[in-house]
Amino acid sequence: MKIHKEGKKVIPVAFFIIAVIDVIIYIFLKEYLIFYFLMAASLILAALIVYFFREPTLEVEVNENYILAPADGAIVEIGEVFEKEYFNDQRLQISIFMSPFNVHQNRTPVAGEVVYNHHKRGVYYPAFVKKSSEKNERWSTVFKMTDGTEIMSRQIAGTVAQRIVNYIKPGDKVDQGQEYGFIRFGSRVDVLLPPGTKVMAKIHTKTVGGKSILASFK
């Protein structure tokens, strides 16, 4: 396991801020009992920040018949929706909620070409509620497979997560399970599939990005 590249940007700044706060606490509160509790809390916070940006080693089992989970988390919604940003028709939506304790890398559910990649600003409802899919800040990416099938993976910011990163652009060719983005501090990812796709996952199922099977074309 290593530290994700997003963590290498954030961790030094976070540690500097924590160190400054610790110095202030030491100067003004070192003679009080609360000083020890605050110092312990700062150590725990520092450890949690490092833990959040962990990047575990992952072996992706590529299979063109399967749609893989794009994120670690828990499935909070499965059902048909009218997708009006790109497809303008009915789609099967599978939504994964990512808590602050999940790995926050996002991975491609299928291999193919990026044909749409759009960031839209919005509000910050809790990521586990249904209306966050349309109201929250989000980044929608559509992958076109070799047979012409198009799959959308939509990164959604939550109340705490207000930083979406996307590393790809239209025209890029991607492998299944390849990292394509990152969301900071708790969020949601929706996968939108063609109607009739065979769903293999269930509500509340825990997922691992790039490994767990959400659905099948056969």
Residue among 26, 102, 39 nearest 71 (CA): 102
What is the crossing angle of helices 5-29 and 34-52, to 10°? Answer: 180
Torsion of CA 80, 82, 84, 89, to 10 degrees: 90
The residue from 132, 133, 187, 212 that is catalytic is 187
Query: What count of other Cβ atoms lies within 10 Å of the Cβ of residue 57?
Result: 6
Distance of CA 117 to the CA centre of its chain: 16
Distance of CA 28 to the CA centre of its chain: 40
Is 216 marked active-site?
A: no
Please give the positions annotated as active site. Answer: 187
